[in-house]
Amino acid sequence: MCGIVGYIGYRDAYPILIKGLHRLEYRGYDSAGVALLAGDHKMNIYKSKGKVSNLEESAASKDISGHIGIAHTRWATHGEPSTLNAHPHVSQNGRLALVHNGIIENYSNLKTFLEGKGFTFKSSTDTEVLVQLIQFIQDEYGKDLEGAVVSALRRVTGAYAIAVVDKENPDKIVVARKSSPLVVGIGEDHKEFFLASDALPIVEYTKQMVYLNDGEVALLKVGQKMEIHTLDNEDVDPKIKEVDVNLDTLEKGGYEHFMLKEIYDQPRCISDCIRGRLLADEKKIVLSAINQHRDRLLRASRFIIVACGTSWHAGLIGKQMIEQWAKIPVDVEYASEFRYRKPVIQPGDVVIAISQSGETADTLAAFELAKERGALCFGIVNVVGSSIARASDTGIYTHVGPEIGVASTKAFTGQVMVLTLFALALGHELGSISQMEFEKYVTELSLIPEKMKKVLEQDALTKDISRTLTYARNALYMGRGFNYPVALEGALKLKEISYIHAEGYPAAEMKHGPIALVDENMPVVFVATHHQLYKKILSNIQEVKARNGRIIAIVTEDDEAVKNIAEATIEIPATLPVVAPLLSVLPLQLIAYHVAVFKGLNVDQPRNLAKSVTVE
């Protein structure tokens, strides 16, 4: 949550900062702001409530010159979304400007302390306290900017990625991180530096990136090698990583929204995800993570999956596959609960963190806890070089490309595919799945991208069906077995994008409560593709029909029985039941998308949400 971006060098900073903010807007869009250092020790600050485009409009007629600047797009934690609470925040003497992603947990004590020293505050944010503290240290102890930032951060508890500029020293930016991401892009011969919450805003200028680690503070000064120190004043050698991102993936490419593009991208993304891993001709799955940590993985006594939101739903599918094929028990935990409830982690446990962003604060904390307790930490992450990826002992990238729409779509299918490959490979290595069964799945998985295309070809029908859901106030989503987590995911998509209250349930649970909600106004979406519980779910559908519920069903292409009962059906191609979620989730993503568009809502940036949840 919150995105920060910065530039120092020979180019005009403003266009780089604004473009960068647009790329980071998925992290929050409550307000945006920019601080630019121009010549003559001048600092111009512009802020607006709401989106980056509001900031652009309000800054259009103003002085936007300067080769140094920092900028911010906010997801409010402390203080309502307003121009006053927008970053950058400025020190009382007007010298320093600071942008921050994270939470200063002891801000209230620090604020009282600073008020006692005569400081006054304009905003209700925790961030303003930090910039005043840095000024206080500069005034009191005569420290330079880097020294004052280090001293201030030693007094801070909480999470931060910050960038600070000083208009009296318009030749440097000081940045620091703890528990919130920060990456620095290095220009040729150190003639310029870029900084951002992730690589997306800066990758078009440089591929040379340094990911700051927790407790590191860096000085960015033109013409000088980047200097990194820890808060204990130890020197750190910057580790430069080559990062490459296909820039096309950062644009909408003709689609009206990123979400729609990302839904349609899934056949290609899944091909990327399985490339070099699923060798269909040789009937093999090759995962370097398994090769490198063979013993620990094959002898795992239990897997514990920690994740949040959509990634947690993928984890529920992974559990069923690992238990079915590898016969190893799996627990799936909400990371936010796991980290605070003294979980039992035993030698032999392997903890799998699933995360698109690789920055989700709770998932990262749960993972770190597991690491402290000696578990092997296995990451299933999309964003290369992210915090969870770096905290992993080993793992598998989903490789589905940047996901910009706030609602996760291609990340989910990527996670499910990686879990499928992992579970199958594990079962195969352990000899707990027969060679014939293994080969059958390998072949089927290689067909998934083509089958996904077939599902997407029915988008016009899906759109028509979605129209009927537009005026619903509530919806139920039902599934069984592998389709139960798909039902949860469909309900989550609908509520987060179209603001319709939706509940996902295992269909048999319906009789234990939710069926009381069913009447002629209640849409009930059944994920009823062919699998061993098909007959059972058919009875559940009959039960809803008997109570006049409006049934929409996702079915397998040759289905007759459900089609005869349901108000509307969407088909997926026949596939093996275990891998059906990779197909059955697509119509549910499309339904949520179309309903939101019909309602005129902001699909890519739904209210109150941010893509990368870096606060707990």
The catalytic position among 47, 319, 410, 611 is 611
- For residue 411, the minimal CB distance to ligand F6R (Å) is 6
The region that residue 611 occupies, defined by phi over 0 for left and psi between -120 and 50 for alpha, beta otherwise, is: alpha
- For residue 612, the minimal CB distance to ligand F6R (Å) is 6
| CA-only gyration radius of the chain, Å | 25
- Measured from the CB atom, is 352 or 568 closer to ligand F6R? 352
Q: How far apart are CA 549 and CA 614, in angstroms?
A: 40
- For residue 492, the minimal CB distance to ligand F6R (Å) is 6
Nearby residues of 94 by Cβ (< 8 Å), 6 or more positions away: 43, 167
Residue sitting closest to ligand F6R (CB)? 309
CB atoms within 10 A of CB 152: 25
Compute the residue count for the chain. Answer: 616
Residues lying near ligand F6R in the complex (CB under 6 A) are found at 308-311, 355-357, 360, 363, 407-408, 492, 496, 613
- For residue 59, the minimal CB distance to ligand F6R (Å) is 31
Is residue 273 flagged as an active site residue? no
- Measured from the CB atom, is 173 or 316 closer to ligand F6R? 316
Nearby residues of 528 by Cβ (< 8 Å), 6 or more positions away: 479, 483, 534, 537, 538, 541, 553, 554, 555, 559, 562
- For residue 155, the minimal CB distance to ligand F6R (Å) is 30
Is residue 2 flagged as an active site residue? yes
- Measured from the CB atom, is 9 or 201 closer to ligand F6R? 201
Name the token pair of 48. Answer: 């607006």
Q: How far apart are CA 476 and CA 501, in angstroms?
A: 9
- Measured from the CB atom, is 123 or 311 closer to ligand F6R? 311
- Measured from the CB atom, is 30 or 496 closer to ligand F6R? 496
With contact defined as beta carbons under 8 Å apart, do 353 and 388 qualify?
Answer: yes
Can you tell me whether residue 144 is helix, strand or coil? coil
- Measured from the CB atom, is 48 or 73 closer to ligand F6R? 73
Name the token pair of 162. Answer: 């910050």
Per-residue buried b or exposed e for 72-107, using 16+ beta carbons within 10 Å of the residue's own CB: bbbbbbbbebbbebbbbbbbbeebbbbbbbbbbeeb
What sign does the CA torsion over 124, 128, 130, 135 have? negative
The catalytic position among 2, 269, 273, 377 is 2
- For residue 307, the minimal CB distance to ligand F6R (Å) is 6
For the annotated catalytic residues, the residue numbers are 2, 611
